[in-house]
């Protein structure tokens, strides 16, 4: 490798993970980052801490305010209902007295008690028909009448000769809707007794619409107030008038919490629920229970509640952007003063890395940078001298290495005159195929050496076997098959040769299995060995051997393709085909030696004559040129 290329590779790959280089950042970008971090990080940390604390405090304050509003609303509703209950009990005592003294005045007396709140009065005696007084335009529907009768019956059933003290308390039912306007109302029932004897039940329908409206006005927007019955159904809402069509609200987590407390507590929490527009939104909610287990809820969208924090966040972002702009301006000035001289030195160092050691750095107005430039120039001069010496030494070492490898390969081929130049041709074929497979420069270099030395193991094979002109016996062939392992063992002792051993050791393996030395198949065979196998087979087929004439190039190419997917890797064969069609092999093919190969009949006659003369002969006749071994690799190559 050229010295300048080595230097560039070291610059590019120093301390980098295998297969990629470390990213480099411009000095100006580093300076800009430092300035931005120094100016923005403290602001960001302070803002996050402040905004987080502010947000937390705002949520707590909001929930406390909502809880106070819910509790206040619940207390006002309780006060109204207690007042109405006391009024009914007091009126019940008066009605009881009047019923004993002047029963004919009962209905008239009931009408006198009607007002804006009490829109219906009813007296239900223990025995007899009830008396009823209604406000104008009020119609007693069947559902209301059934509720009144049910409550009266409950109190009457509780009566006895002596009415217990608890029976003097009013019984409340509702809330429910009155009339087309669906005005909020409740029924209040109280026992009527005289001298400890139950006479009947006095009942009143009390409207609390005005109380609800007054309570709703105490809840400022964007907060909303709503009322739930004891079973979790929506009764009234601050955004609407009158009683709502009952809707189960148990989908809200806060409602489930309220129901789980059996309507006797208060609480606050954040939760997600559908908005009036139907979208899921985050809410902050609080609730408080009335004495009758109704739930008074106050909720607000979390974004609206935290609007002050969001406004503060916008101010922080604006301030951060302003600070960033100022930091960038400062970095432009500061960075330019430092980065421009450094950039000039970096450009000069790039030329040095490319091998131009004549370049020199100019002087600088900054003492530190000027000293750096002078040292840089001195380093450049000395580095040029060292690189030149290194280049000469590397060139000589590389030439010596390749020359030694080539000499070793030629020495192996010289043992058999019919394989002269075989290793060099296999090497050239293999390198061409490797290029057509897109191998890297490093892989091509390893393939180059591996192909040259693929038959180095034949050094350990006896010449009587290696040069035998006839077919080998089974035992002799087993000895011949050991040459890949012998070669791998020889080169495996050298740590620097570890990358070339796979091609030497496994180039006689078959794609579909059954090869040697260990019977690998398909992708188990290293790619280097698969390439050498194709190159080795092609050269063996296209050169004369003692036992066969060389195939024509066209026939050899056809045989190679016949072995695709059987003995040879299909992908490597395709690369071989592309290289052959491009004429890449023509120059190598032209270097094949041309020998006179005696006919098989003449070889057989010579063997017979030798036997007659008492000479040593092969126990087998010359092998034919169509054996499976020759079809795969043309014998042992």
Strand partners, 548: 545
Distance between CA atoms of residues 102 and 245, nearest Å: 44
Q: Give kind and range of the element (H or E) at residue 189.
A: strand 183-194
Give the CA angle between residues 330, 331, 335 to the nearest 5°: 125
Predicted confidence at residue 292, as pLDDT, reads: 85
DSSP 326-377: HHHHHHHHHHHHHHHHHHHHHHHHHHHHTT-TT--PPP-SSHHHHHHHHHHH
User: Which domains, and CATH codes, for the chain?
Assistant: 54-305 (3.30.450.20), 415-633 (1.10.3210.10)
Q: Give kind and range of the element (H or E) at residue 136.
A: none
Predicted confidence at residue 337, as pLDDT, reads: 65
Predicted confidence at residue 247, as pLDDT, reads: 81
Q: Give kind and range of the element (H or E) at residue 4.
A: helix 3-13
What is the CB-side half-sphere exposure of residue 79 using CA atoms within 13 A?
A: 9
Predicted confidence at residue 500, as pLDDT, reads: 83
Predicted confidence at residue 309, as pLDDT, reads: 64
Burial class (CB in 10 A: 0-12, 13-18, 19+), 221: exposed
CB of 176 closer than 8 Å to CB of 185: yes
Mean pLDDT by 10 residues, the chain (637 residues): 44 48 64 71 69 76 89 92 89 70 57 87 86 85 87 79 52 86 90 80 90 90 89 85 77 87 78 80 90 90 78 69 73 67 72 69 63 72 72 66 66 63 88 93 89 82 76 83 84 80 89 91 91 92 76 91 93 94 90 57 47 41 36 44
Q: State both tokens at 113.
A: 């008690």
Which residues are CB-contacts of 411 (< 8 A; sequence separation ≥ 6)?
none
Predicted confidence at residue 561, as pLDDT, reads: 94
Distance between CA atoms of residues 212 and 229, nearest Å: 14
Q: State both tokens at 54.
A: 């502010």
Which residues are CB-contacts of 390 (< 8 A; sequence separation ≥ 6)?
3
14: helix, strand or coil: coil
Relative to beta strand 295-301, strand 183-194 is unpaired
Predicted confidence at residue 16, as pLDDT, reads: 47
Predicted confidence at residue 181, as pLDDT, reads: 84
Burial class (CB in 10 A: 0-12, 13-18, 19+), 552: exposed
CB of 278 closer than 8 Å to CB of 252: no
What is the CB-side half-sphere exposure of residue 239 using CA atoms within 13 A?
A: 10
Strand partners, 249: none
Distance between CA atoms of residues 333 and 339, nearest Å: 10
Give the relative orientation of helices 307-353 and 27-101 as an angle to the nearest 10 degrees: 160
How many C-beta neighbours within 10 Å does residue 109 have? 18
Q: pTM (2 decimals)?
A: 0.47
């Amino acid at each position: 490798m050229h010295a300048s290329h080595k230097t560039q590779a070291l610059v590019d790959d120093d301390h980098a993970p295998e297969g990629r280089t470390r990213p480099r950042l411009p000095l100006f970008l580093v300076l800009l980052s430092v300035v931005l971090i120094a100016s923005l990080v403290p602001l960001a940390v302070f803002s996050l801490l402040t905004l987080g604390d502010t947000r937390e405090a705002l949520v707590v304050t909001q929930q406390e305010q909502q809880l106070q509003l819910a509790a206040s609303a619940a207390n006002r509703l309780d006060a109204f209902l207690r007042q109405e209950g006391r009024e009914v009990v007091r009126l019940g005592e008066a009605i009881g007295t009047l019923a004993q003294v002047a029963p004919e005045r009962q209905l008239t007396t009931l009408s006198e008690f009607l007002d804006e709140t009490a829109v219906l009065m009813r007296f239900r005696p223990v025995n007899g028909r009830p008396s009823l007084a209604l406000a104008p335009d009020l119609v007693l529907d069947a559902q209301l009448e059934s509720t009144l009768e049910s409550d009266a019956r409950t109190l009457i059933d509780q009566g006895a000769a002596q009415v217990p003290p608890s029976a003097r308390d009013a019984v409340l039912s509702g809330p429910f809707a009155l009339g087309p306007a669906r005005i909020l109302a409740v029924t209040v029932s109280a026992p009527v007794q005289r001298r400890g004897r139950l006479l009947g039940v006095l009942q009143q329908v009390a409207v609390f619409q005005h109380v609800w409206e007054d309570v709703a006005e105490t809840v400022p927007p964007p907060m909303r107030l709503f009322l739930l019955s004891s079973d979790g159904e929506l009764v009234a809402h601050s955004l609407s008038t009158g009683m709502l069509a009952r809707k189960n609200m148990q989908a809200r987590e806060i409602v489930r919490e309220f129901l789980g407390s059996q309507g006797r507590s208060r609480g606050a929490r954040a939760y997600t629920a559908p908005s009036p527009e139907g979208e899921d939104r985050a809410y902050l909610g609080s609730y408080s229970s009335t004495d009758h287990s109704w739930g008074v809820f106050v909720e607000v969208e979390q974004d609206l509640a935290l609007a002050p924090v969001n406004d503060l966040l916008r101010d922080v972002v604006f301030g951060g952007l302003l600070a960033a702009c100022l930091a960038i301006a400062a970095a432009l000035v500061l960075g330019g003063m430092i980065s421009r001289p450094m950039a000039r030195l970096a450009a000069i160092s790039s030329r040095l890395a490319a091998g131009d050691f004549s370049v020199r750095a100019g002087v600088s107005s900054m003492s530190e940078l000027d000293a750096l430039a002078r040292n840089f120039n001195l380093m450049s001069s000395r580095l040029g001298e060292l690189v030149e010496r290194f280049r000469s030494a590397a060139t000589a070492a590389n030439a010596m290495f390749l020359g030694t490898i080539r000499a070793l390969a030629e020495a192996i081929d010289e043992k058999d005159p019919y394989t002269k130049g075989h290793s060099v041709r296999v090497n050239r074929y293999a390198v061409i195929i490797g290029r057509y497979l897109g191998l890297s420069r490093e892989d091509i270099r390893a393939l180059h050496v591996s192909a040259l030395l693929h038959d180095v193991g034949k050094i350990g094979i006896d010449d009587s076997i290696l040069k035998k002109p006839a077919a080998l016996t089974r035992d002799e062939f087993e000895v011949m098959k050991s040459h890949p392992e012998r070669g791998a063992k020889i080169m495996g002792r050298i740590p620097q040769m570890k990358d070339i051993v796979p091609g030497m050791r496994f180039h006689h393996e078959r794609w579909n299995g059954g090869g040697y030395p260990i019977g690998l198949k398909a992708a188990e065979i290293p790619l280097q060995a698969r390439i050498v196998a194709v190159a080795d087979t092609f050269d063996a087929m296209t050169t004369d051997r003692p036992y066969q004439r060389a195939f024509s190039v066209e026939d050899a190419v056809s045989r190679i393709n016949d072995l695709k997917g059987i003995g040879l890797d299909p992908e490597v064969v395709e690369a071989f085909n592309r290289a052959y069609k491009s004429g890449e092999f023509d120059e190598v093919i032209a270097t094949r030696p041309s020998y006179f190969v005696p006919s098989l009949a003449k070889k057989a006659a010579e063997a017979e004559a030798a036997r007659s003369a008492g000479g040593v002969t092969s126990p087998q006749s010359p092998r034919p040129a169509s054996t499976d071994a020759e079809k795969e690799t043309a014998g042992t190559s």
